[in-house]
Structure 1
């Protein structure tokens, strides 16, 4: 798991970049401003509170897309995702348990998450070829989630999982 691009507030961070005249490098790859956390998620929203059942909560989706995610978004960010809108928004009411977000698929998938703290988290291959991002002290709020495919813009079947129990 890699956390990148900390910011005090989503709007403040974007405003600081624009105000400073800064641009992220990597025209062909997804950048933070290519992934629109405000857009309506492709596969809908999920609301969970700590202690949710059943655990894991699962969402079936098609991973991948035409937007290439590169390290311009941050270290460890890779694969191809749907451009713009997140695949799923998770509204999470945290407790004392950790939150693990992972993908299961027959293909090599990747994961990109914009967390409530405004930081970007990415992973590839945490469990075999499946990605996982863990939040040991998860925050309450919205998690914007993109599920990508490594090395191909083809769409592939995948299951996005939310759990408070550490996956094997």
Structure 2
């Protein structure tokens, strides 16, 4: 039996396969709570953003991630490296939150709990210049308030 596959069907299958992990999170969308342009040595440090965590996308589609996040990033940081200091992202909330970041190199970083608390944090020891797309997730369907802190001082 001969199987004939149209080029459109083949292209669709290839696109689905290429989407892979993180396909539910879309960095091309406008961030829910804004964008910051930060240069090494930025002031004030920490840079703080109030936002609502959570969403309807399961972050576990990305290997090692957890929680429910939105499709669009919650926040975007365009960062210019140069100080030799680490770049740290932390979330503070009264609810158990998660943190998902797509860095300038296209790699995903995730954290659930850090420092013995239910608040997540991710540290880039040698941060690269470029775009950091940030999602703050939760377990369940709540959308609690959260505070995203970005610092070079920790």
Counting matched residue pairs gives 141
Would you say 1:60 and 2:56 are equivalent positions? Answer: no
1:70-149, aligned counterparts within 5 Å? 70=60, 72-75=61-64, 77-82=65-70, 84-95=71-82, 96-127=84-115, 128-149=117-138
Structure 1 runs (4+) deviating above 2 angstroms are 17-24
Instruction: Report the aligned-residue RMSD.
Output: 1.9
Over alpha carbons, which structure has the higher Rg?
2
Instruction: Please report how far the alpha carbon of residue 21 of structure 1 lies from its aligned counterpart in structure 2 after TM superposition.
Output: 4.2
TM-score (norm 1): 0.78
Would you say 1:18 and 2:41 are equivalent positions? Answer: no
Q: Gaps spanning 5+ residues in structure 2: where?
A: 1-10
Instruction: Please report how far the alpha carbon of residue 135 of structure 1 lies from its aligned counterpart in structure 2 after TM superposition.
Output: 0.3
Q: Gaps spanning 5+ residues in structure 1: where?
A: 1-14, 25-30
